[in-house]
Amino acid sequence: MPVFSAQNISFHFDNGEQLFTHLSCSMAKPRVGLVGRNGIGKSVLTSILSGEIAPSDGTVSKPSSYALYRQQDDELLTQTSSIAHYLGKETILNAIKQIEAGSCDEKWFNIVEDQWDLESKLSQQLSELGLPANPLFSCSELSGGQLARLQLWQLFESEAELLILDEPSNHLDRQAKQWLIHAMANFAGSILLVSHDRELLREVNEIWEMSQLGLQTFGGNYDTYEQLKRVELQAVERQLNNVEKTQKQLIEQAQKNKEKAEQRASQSNKSRKDGSQPKILLDGMKNSAERRLASRNKNEQLRMKHLQRKGSALRERQEQLKTQKIYLEDGQISTKKVLSLIDVTLKYGFIESLTLQVYANDKLHLKGKNGSGKSTLLKTLHGRWPVMSGEYLVNTPLYYLDQHFNVIQAQLSMLDNLMSHCNQMKESHARTLLAGIGFRRDSVFRLGSALSGGEKMKLAMLIVSHQPSQPFLLLDEPDNHLDLESKINLASALQQYQGGFILISHDHDFALESGVNRETTLG
């Protein structure tokens, strides 16, 4: 029996704008991955499926019980409450302390019941999670990755029939992600996973792809889904080639038919003038020819319209399946040393001294647990923070990009952003470059504040690759909020980038596809 099902559901906003229409789905597999571009409506869909909000149209059969994880932190976690308070265990711990202090009040014993080892048990569990072992530790002092782990752990400890996990791996380091995969595998209930993380999506039994064309189901995990998409793309391209070939043949045949009709008309006119055939016979032949021509033209027009509709549908599906490439400016290959750190101690995170030599064409994957100092290192190299001790030398222009692509100014248009960051670039050249990443005509005037994460990424990479001197890139989790297609686009662009970079990312697939050739681990 399905955990939930939905029939012909639609959703539109109060202003009448439609997000999606006539979607149907039924969750019969224990692990389902929901994928799609950012802004397509995945989070709204999960809210409808769980019963949090109602669809504009259609019906939903809700799960009997569910628990939901969203990317944003729970309000409690921004306050000074303790871990025990968040987990609902603070009252029991307080009762144990009252009894240990000598109180014999029966209410404390009623609260504790048989949970006398709760504090030591909680401490051990928190330690295994990579969290502070003290249950009374303030949530406000936890890192983003620790907060995520705490929230997820509470959900996996529940007895909900369904867990809806919306981007659970954001902010998680390698060790925490492995814990999450293990927790997913051992959870007794069903899981609907909304994610752009291919490593997590390899753990599901079925993929649902949400797009402008609706909701499509692919049996198997991410690798199967990717293979099926490749096969479908090849089939679509073959069909499109056949349609275009048939259209060309139809146009050529129509031209031949027109030329033949003109020749027959010319011969008929010649016969009229020399009187070689009776006029009544010629009129009959003319009328018959005109009827055949009209019928043929009508059939040709109908066939052409059919082919145009089919071609349009195939091109739309091709765009959905095909990954758009980002073409970057070619640079000069160089092997000079660009960064040198000798016995450096950072302001935050990494405790021991760090010695590191980086060359111009190094593509370095910087790894380490949450809080180990990875972001601190990049910000130190960029000059935002001083070193506490040691020496470091920067011998190249640097460009810092984080997960929010803050290089893009919210109040400027795409065109102005590009021209303001690339000195002496002419507007015509800027428009040509923007057209190359999919932005033409008036779309270049869209403000930075209106761009999606993927759009900001493409514009930022365009800016970076068209600097007067090719910069060495400092990339602080640039893939963290990107959808799958944008991740693949960015990885491809970095792989082609002629310069070097230091990349922080917890996505192993993304790092490999970005062309990393070195690894360094902090902590």
The dihedral formed by the CA atoms of 88, 89, 94 and 96, expressed in degrees to the nearest 10: 150
Token code pair at residue 492: 């491809």
Give the chain's mean pLDDT: 82
199 and 252: one domain? no
Q: Cα separations (Å) of 505 from 116, 348, 357, 381?
A: 42, 19, 20, 18
CATH value at residue 485: 3.40.50.300
Q: Confirm if 119 and 135 have CB atoms less than 8 A apart.
A: yes
Q: Measured on CA atoms in the order 305, 308, 310, 313, is the torsion positive or negative?
A: negative
Instruction: Out of 241-255, 317-331, 410-424, give the one with best mean pLDDT.
Output: 410-424
Q: Which helix (H) or strand (E) holds 374?
A: helix 374-381
Q: d(Cα 6, Cα 42) in Å, to the nearest integer?
A: 14
Token code pair at residue 479: 């893939």
Confidence band for 192, pLDDT divided at 50, 70 and 90? very high
In this structure, the strands spanning 190-194 and 31-35 are: parallel
- The average pLDDT across 85-109 equals 85
CB atoms within 10 A of CB 396: 18
Confidence band for 278, pLDDT divided at 50, 70 and 90? low
- Is the model more confident about 142 or about 516? 516
> What pLDDT does 270 receive?
60
Token code pair at residue 290: 């005109």
Residue 157, domain extent: 4-80+142-220
428-471 pLDDT, tens digit per residue, is 888 888 887 777 878 889 888 888 777 888 888 888 878 777 78
379-435 pLDDT, tens digit per residue, is 888 888 888 888 888 888 888 888 788 888 888 998 998 988 887 788 888 888 888
Q: d(Cα 497, Cα 516) in Å, to the nearest integer?
A: 11
378 and 508: one domain? yes
The label of the residue with tokens 């959870």 reads: 187
> What pLDDT does 427 receive?
87
Show which of 116, 137, 158 is a domain's final residue: 137
Q: How far is CA 201 from the centre of its chain?
A: 13
- The average pLDDT across 117-128 equals 87
Asked if the model's pLDDT at residue 76 lies above 70, the reply is no
Number of structural domains in the chain: 4
Show which of 176, 201, 220 is a domain's final residue: 220
352 and 428: one domain? yes
- Strands in 214-219's sheet, in edge-to-edge order, are 66-69, 162-166, 190-194, 31-35, 206-211, 214-219
209 and 104: one domain? no
136-149 pLDDT, tens digit per residue, is 888 877 777 788 88
> What pLDDT does 323 receive?
60
95 and 205: one domain? no
Residue 367 lies inside a defined structural domain of this protein: yes
Residue 283 lies inside a defined structural domain of this protein: yes
Q: d(Cα 125, Cα 71) in Å, to the nearest integer?
A: 23
197 and 238: one domain? no
Asked if the model's pLDDT at residue 79 lies above 70, the reply is no
The residues, ordered by sequence, that sit 6+ positions from 102 with a Cβ below 8 Å of its Cβ are: none
271 and 173: one domain? no
The label of the residue with tokens 């800027």 reads: 430
Percent with pLDDT over 70 in the chain: 87
379 and 471: one domain? yes
Residue 327 lies inside a defined structural domain of this protein: no
> What pLDDT does 275 receive?
58
444 and 516: one domain? yes
Residue 331 lies inside a defined structural domain of this protein: no
Residue 326 lies inside a defined structural domain of this protein: no
Asked if the model's pLDDT at residue 269 lies above 80, the reply is no
Long-range Cβ contact pairs of 212-219 (< 8 A, separation 24 or more): 212/40, 212/316, 212/320, 213/316, 213/317, 213/320, 214/20, 214/22, 214/23, 215/23, 215/24, 215/25, 217/25
> What pLDDT does 353 receive?
78
Q: Which helix (H) or strand (E) holds 108?
A: helix 106-112
8 and 89: one domain? no
Residue 242 lies inside a defined structural domain of this protein: yes
- The average pLDDT across 307-316 equals 76
Q: Choose among 480, 481, 420, 408: nearest CA to 446.
A: 408
3-state secondary structure 25-85: EECCCCEEEEECCCCCCHHHHHHHHHCCCCCCEEEEECCCCEEEECCCCCHHHHCCCEHHH
Residue 332 lies inside a defined structural domain of this protein: no
- The average pLDDT across 279-300 equals 64
Q: Choose among 142, 181, 178: nearest CA to 165.
A: 181
9 and 157: one domain? yes
Residue 348 burial (CB < 10 Å; 0-12/13-18/19+)?
middle
Show which of 320, 349, 379 is a domain's final residue: 320
> What pLDDT does 349 receive?
66
> What pLDDT does 142 receive?
79
244 and 109: one domain? no
Q: Choose among 168, 170, 189: nearest CA to 34.
A: 168
Q: d(Cα 405, Cα 281) in Å, to the nearest integer?
A: 79
Residue 68 lies inside a defined structural domain of this protein: yes
